[in-house]
Structure 1
């Protein structure tokens, strides 16, 4: 089990290190460890699924 930093995972997943820190804090990336002010993530960790709504069903429809 090798741990890597948010910078290395960010390059691998093509997302910012700040976003990775947020995902770690929310518990969306399993088996992470906090070392001081740094997150340590398993090298084999999978990128979490995007949880944003994509169906557009949340938008209000105009009154007919």
Structure 2
């Protein structure tokens, strides 16, 4: 069976805010996310997406 994290748990794991995780889920930047009754479920083995808002992140995406 698949194991999932909540947005808050993923935020703690990736050292970012829960709101940022929710935004990444809404933008479909995390593979395998599921929205169940307004709760985002993120697979435990999901990778933290590259932050495209920073100069370093923009260099990695081009």
Per the normalisation by structure 1, the TM-score is 0.79
Look up the match of 1:58: none
Across the two proteins, how many residue pairs are aligned to each other? 55
What 5-or-longer segments of structure 1 have no aligned partner? 56-64
Look up the match of 1:49: 50
Look up the match of 1:21: 22
Q: CA RMSD in A?
A: 1.3
The CA deviation string for residues 3-62 of structure 1, in whole angstroms up to 9 with x for no partner, is 11011111000001111000000010010000111100000000000112517xxxxxxx
Ranges of 4+ aligned residues in structure 1 off by more than 6 Å: none
Structure scoring higher RCO (CA < 8 A, sep ≥ 6) equals 1
Higher helix share: 2
Per the normalisation by structure 2, the TM-score is 0.82
